[in-house]
């Protein structure tokens, strides 16, 4: 009988459990959870801040999920070492757990630069876990002056979540624009304006260099007083356990299309991994929830004896602030075709006859039709792209394709 | 099991399916009270141009990418039906970003909604199919679907 161990208890772990159980209902599954919580929807922590959801609703799976899946969860413990020869995982309390197949789904951790004086800042937070969000919610008052370092997805969702609860919110970032990892200058400017209209202030091309109690001394020389500091500079994949077992890592744990690491019988999935981006055909960290699930599921299927490839993953993001939504997918480099009008911009990146990426702000209906063109590598010549760029619609496909889509079993 | 299929050559783009859907899911008994003078948020919609038109609603995929992608754990599949728990949904639109059919859209409240084959409302078969005057939408078993 197989003994499966999953290190981590997030979305990728759930995918892995469901993948294993699709092939093997017998083997034992042990999940090692650093956090003292059943799996929850991590990206919802900003919605929790603004009371648009609550702890119960944030459960990613029903309360009997582990039991029904035949899993044992070890809470509050960290896996510290893998012995790939004896096939054992060691926990921080020195417990050794034998495995036949192992999945590393350790996620990522906030990256905190070595700011001078940071140790003397009282109310400082990161924004990655439900415990971070609970602590932040307890501390915030209507008078709080909030300084958020980092204008990326995490920093800005935190800003939105705190909007109605704080006195003022300032976000700084060394980059020249907001959401610099997913939006270009023009699209970022639209989003920044919208955020500013909702009373979020920005200091771009600037960041804190040191702290004197509750004052940040900025690179520009500006001094900013705050009551609450949120550190959202970035995240780093948790790769140490594979690195220390001499497994191959880049910026993340390297996995192939079966989600196997370089170590025998060791798989990896989710934000800790680096895998092939089908839109750019390069290795990338694609730390987003849909991919975490799909990677975990693929790993699980294969751990359970299956033989499934996952080779159509691409970076993609759907993110909205105060009612303005942006969506991006694939690789947005080079020349683009643009459609715009009052309130929206759509940019499409076409390379060698294929759609390889898009960036949409303000008009996102049925964007999955665009995403599918990238994932499925549909030649642009087979569709009416002039129609499609204006409106995402299956009318742009041929009758035969549409017949399959809406008349066949999908 | 039975699912909804589209015969686009029969579609007249009359949009009746949209009205029947909005009514069926309104919880109101009288169609006029439910719909008159109000914007409607149906779970099926007509697409197309002057040459062709067709109705789009959830395909209840065998391997639904929306279920795998939902960041709120709000979409699930049971008994062959892909369903959304509107209590859990936060309206992040990730499902819109991944659905290859464009089958999900927000309701009036910004929370997502989708076709659930009229199993949760008072209709015992999909209202869009029942009301289609030209059999352009049908509810039946087809090969490959168990």
Q: Above 50 in pLDDT, residue B146?
A: no
Residues of B with Cβ-Cβ distance to A130 under 8 angstroms: none
Q: How far apart are CA B129 and CA B136, in angstroms?
A: 8
Q: Is the pLDDT of residue A388 over 60?
A: yes
Chain center to CA of A192: 21
Q: Does residue B106 lie within any of the structural domains?
A: no
Chain centroid to Cα A39, Å, comes to 15
**Residue B50 pLDDT:** 84
Residues of chain B numbered 14-73 and touching chain A (CB < 8 Å): 47-49, 52, 54-56, 59-62, 65, 68-69, 71-73
Q: Do domains A118-233 and A323-407 have the same CATH topology?
A: no
- Cα nearest neighbour of B8 on chain A: A403
Nearest by CB to residue A394, choosing from B5, B72, B102, is B102
Task: Please tell me whether residues B47 and B8 are part of one structural domain.
Answer: yes
Give the three-state DSSP class for B35.
helix
Same domain, B145 and B95: no
Dihedral sign, Cα of residue A326, residue A393, residue B61, residue B127: positive
Residues B7 and B38 in one domain: yes
Closest Cβ opposite residue B97 in set A57, A294, A329: A329
Q: What pLDDT score does B29 carry?
A: 85
Which residue among B49, B87, B144 places its CB closest to the CB of A395?
B49
Query: How does the average pLDDT of chain A come out, rounded?
Result: 96
Class of domain A3-107+237-303: alpha beta
Nearest-CA residue of chain A relative to B138?
A407
The answer to whether A409 contacts chain B (CB < 8 Å) is yes
What are the extents of the domains in chain A?
3-107+237-303, 118-233, 323-407
Contact call for A368 and B101, based on CB within 8 A: yes
- Contacts with A134 (C-beta within 8 Å, 6 or more apart), sequence order: none
- The verdict on B50 and B119 lying in the same domain is yes
Residue B108 lies in a domain: no
Residue A47 touches chain B, beta carbons under 8 Å: yes
**What predicted TM-score, i.e. pTM, was given to this entire model?**
0.94
Q: Are residues B122 and B144 in the same domain?
A: yes
* Chain B residues whose beta carbon lies within 8 Å of the beta carbon of residue A15: 68
Tens digits of residue pLDDT in B8-29: 999 999 999 999 999 998 888 8
In a domain, B110, yes or no: no
What are φ and ψ of residue A89, in 5° steps?
Answer: -110, 135
Q: Cβ of B109 under 8 Å from any chain A Cβ?
A: no
Q: Does residue B123 have a pLDDT over 70?
A: no
- Please give the CATH architecture assigned to the domain spanning A323-407: 2-Layer Sandwich (3.30)
- A357 and A332 in contact (C-beta within 8 Å)? yes
Distance CA A236, CA A234 (A): 7
Chain A residue with CA closest to B141: the answer is: A409
Its domain, for residue B44, covers: 1-57+115-146
Q: CATH no. for residue B133? A: 3.30.70.20
SS (H, E, C) A122-168: CCEECCCCHHHHHHHHHHCCCCCEEEEECCCHHHHHHHHHHCCCCCE
Kindly state whether B84 is in contact with chain A, defined as any CB-CB distance less than 8 angstroms: no
Residues B67 and B52 in one domain: no
CATH fourth-level superfamily of A118-233: FAD/NAD(P)-binding domain (3.50.50.60)
In A174-247, which residue ranges form alpha helices assigned H by DSSP?
185-197, 240-243
One domain, residues B140 and B126: yes
CB A171 within 8 A of CB A155: yes
**Cross-chain residue pair B92–A43, CB shorter than 8 Å:** yes
Per residue in B33-89, pLDDT tens?
888 888 999 999 999 988 899 999 999 999 999 999 999 999 999 999 999 999 999
**Does the pLDDT of residue B92 top 70, yes or no?**
yes
How many distinct structural domains can be found in chain B? 2
**With an 8 Å Cβ cutoff, are A406 and B49 in contact?**
no
Best of A395, A398, A401, A408 to mutate (most B CBs within 10 Å, chain B): A395
Q: Rounded to an integer, what is the distance from CA A127 to the centroid of its chain? A: 13
CA distance A116 to chain B (A): 36
Q: Examine residue B41 and state whether it is found in any structural domain, yes or no.
A: yes
Contacts of B92 (CB under 8 A, 6+ apart): A43, A318, A319, A320, B71, B72
- Asked if B1 has any chain A CB less than 8 Å from its own CB, the reply is no
For residue B43, list chain A residues with Cβ-Cβ distance below 8 A. none
A41 with B73: Cβ contact below 8 A: yes
Q: What is the ipTM of this complex?
A: 0.95
In a domain? residue B73: yes
- Per-residue pLDDT tens for A29-74? 999 999 999 999 999 999 999 999 999 999 999 999 999 999 999 9
């Amino acid at each position: 009988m197989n003994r499966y161990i999953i290190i981590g208890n997030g979305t990728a772990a759930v995918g892995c459990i469901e993948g294993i159980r699709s092939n093997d209902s017998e083997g034992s599954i042990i999940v090692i959870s650093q956090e003292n919580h059943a799996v929850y929807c991590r990206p919802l922590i900003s919605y929790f801040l603004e009371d648009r959801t609550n702890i119960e609703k944030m459960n990613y799976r029903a309360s009997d999920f582990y039991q029904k899946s035949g899993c044992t969860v070890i809470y509050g413990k960290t896996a510290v070492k893998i012995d790939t020869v004896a096939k054992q995982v060691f926990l921080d309390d020195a417990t050794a757990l034998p495995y036949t197949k192992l999945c590393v789904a350790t996620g990522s951790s906030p990256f905190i630069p070595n700011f001078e004086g940071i140790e003397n800042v009282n109310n400082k937070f990161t924004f990655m876990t439900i415990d971070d969000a609970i602590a932040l919610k307890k501390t915030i008052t209507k008078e709080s002056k909030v300084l958020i370092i980092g204008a990326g997805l995490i920093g800005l969702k935190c800003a939105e979540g705190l909007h109605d609860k704080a006195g003022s919110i300032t976000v700084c970032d060394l980059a020249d624009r907001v959401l610099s990892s997913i939006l270009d200058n023009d699209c970022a400017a639209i989003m920044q304006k919208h955020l500013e209209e909702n009373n979020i202030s920005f200091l771009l091309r600037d960041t804190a260099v040191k702290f004197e109690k509750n004052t940040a001394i900025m690179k520009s020389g500006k001094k900013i007083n705050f009551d609450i500091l949120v550190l959202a500079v970035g995240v780093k994949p948790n790769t140490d356990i594979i690195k220390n077992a001499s497994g191959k890592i880049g910026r993340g744990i390297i996995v192939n299309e079966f989600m196997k690491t370089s170590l025998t019988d060791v798989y990896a999935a989710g934000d800790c991994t680096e895998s092939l981006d089908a839109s750019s055909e390069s290795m990338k960290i694609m730390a987003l929830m849909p991919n975490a699930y799909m990677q975990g599921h693929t790993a699980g299927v294969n751990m359970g004896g299956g033989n499934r490839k996952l080779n159509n993953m691409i970076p993609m993001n759907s993110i909205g602030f105060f009612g303005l939504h942006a969506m991006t997918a694939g690789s947005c480099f080079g020349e683009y075709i643009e459609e715009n009008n009052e309130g929206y911009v759509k940019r499409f990146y076409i390379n060698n006859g294929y759609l390889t990426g898009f960036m949409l702000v303000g008009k996102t209906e049925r964007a999955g039709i665009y995403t599918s063109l990238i994932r499925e590598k549909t030649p642009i010549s087979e569709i009416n792209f002039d129609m499609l760029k204006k409106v995402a619609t299956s009318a742009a496909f041929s009758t035969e394709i549409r017949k399959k889509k809406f008349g066949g079993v999908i | 099991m039975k699912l909804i299929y589209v015969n686009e050559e029969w579609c007249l783009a009359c949009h009746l399916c949209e009205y029947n859907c909005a009514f069926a899911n309104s919880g109101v008994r009288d169609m006029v009270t439910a719909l008159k003078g109000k914007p409607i948020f149906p779970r099926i919609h007509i697409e197309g141009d002057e040459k062709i038109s067709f109705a789009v609603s959830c395909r209840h995929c065998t391997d639904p990418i929306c279920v795998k992608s939902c960041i709120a754990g709000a979409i699930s599949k049971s008994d062959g039906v892909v369903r959304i728990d509107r209590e859990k949904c936060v309206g992040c639109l990730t499902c819109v970003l991944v659905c290859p059919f464009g089958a999900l859209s927000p309701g009036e409240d910004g929370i997502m909604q989708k076709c659930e084959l009229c199993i949760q409302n008072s209709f015992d078969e999909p209202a869009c199919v029942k009301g289609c005057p030209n059999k352009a939408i049908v509810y039946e078993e087809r090969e490959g679907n168990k």
